[in-house]
Structure 1
């Protein structure tokens, strides 16, 4: 399946590069936009789920405090709140999971471009060779954009462990991006930036206040 997806992405990249005359870097960015457009309906669902979680957070915190010595009752009460307000606590995970095959496919494509009839010889974007890794600037941008996205999606008044995760994850993503080939890193950074813009647009134009949620 991943090989088939790599082949499809190679065809799209070749089209952008040979027919539209784009450089490989711009071709990867345009491919990222295409993937984001395809996954846009799932992104709407994700943002709605996150906004719903923000609204019910006071209720969740109250239940966690009240039943902290009774985990089973705590879980039952929390599930009742989710059900009453039509919120899926795992709803925000689906778009990320759907993006992973595209990321793996591009990784496989850049690791073996000859297999997919892609010539990445002298494939540069700005000063970066897209077939090589360890570009510090790409890692830093990845970390900063990941932090901004985490900041936008984090529910207010989260517990300390989640707050620590908000700082750890961008550092981790920055390091991973640094170690990956620049083409994959560029895709990830572009995907994160587009995701931030998508999140703002969805919150502004696609989400209405849910009167069912009570504080």
Structure 2
């Protein structure tokens, strides 16, 4: 099904790489309500950070009480501890299907800057398209980290760069969709 959608889009747009970007943007537009909810949850977490730190300090040795108090505080503020995971979980099947699309060989022969979209940067370090995607991901990750509220956990900042490493191991085509799906990983905290 993904193959047919990409081919139809490619026929309309005249380019498989552009079809990948447009399909991914359509997915992001469909996930916009979930993304907005995740942004609100992130703001609530940032606002509650001092109170959450006090709860961790008081009840860090009692995991059940810590979880109950944290959940209660988040609920009072109109959020939940896992509110930001929804966009990431919703887009995961699309990313998986897109990855499968470019690893099963059906898309072999479609190119970006003269390089086959099914190639991987890890197997072909001279792949210009792969390095351009990695550079774009680094820029997006830096921008995302700067947008995080003060006091965000270190692992959230590091997680923003996880897709940079991931892009080297996936086909260029799957890597092309990552910049347009970046938002989901940022909400995982």
Question: TM-score with structure 2 length normalisation?
Answer: 0.80
Are 2:111 and 1:124 equivalent residues in the alignment?
A: yes
Are 2:162 and 1:139 equivalent residues in the alignment?
A: no
Structure 2: stretches of 5+ with no match in the other structure = 122-129
Q: 1:142 to 1:127 in 2, by over 3 A?
A: farther
What displacement does 1:95 show? 0.6
* Counterpart residue number, 1:79: 71
Q: How many residues align structurally? A: 177
Q: 1:168 to 1:82 in 2, by over 3 A?
A: closer
Deviations 1:27-58 (A, max 9, x none): 11111111111222211221121121122112
What displacement does 1:132 show? 0.9
What displacement does 1:169 show? 2.6
Match 1:39 to one of 31, 43, 59: 31
Question: Would you say the 8 A contact 2:102–2:118 is kept in 1?
Answer: yes
Aligned-pair RMSD on alpha carbons?
A: 2.5
Query: Equivalents in 1 of 2:95, 2:103: separation in Å?
Result: 12
Q: 1:150 to 1:100 in 2, by over 3 A?
A: farther
Are 2:2 and 1:12 equivalent residues in the alignment?
A: no
Question: TM-score with structure 1 length normalisation?
Answer: 0.71
What displacement does 1:151 show? 4.0
- Within-5 A mapping of 1:17-166: 17-18=10-11, 20-114=12-106, 119-121=107-109, 123-134=110-121, 135-152=130-147, 154-158=148-152, 162-163=153-154, 165-166=155-156
Q: 1:24 to 1:145 in 2, by over 3 A?
A: same
Query: Equivalents in 2 of 1:104, 1:74: separation in Å?
Result: 35
> Which structure has the bigger radius of gyration?
1
What displacement does 1:191 show? 2.4
Question: Would you say the 8 A contact 1:23–1:125 is kept in 2?
Answer: no
Query: Equivalents in 2 of 1:132, 1:191: separation in Å?
Result: 20
Q: 1:157 to 1:144 in 2, by over 3 A?
A: same
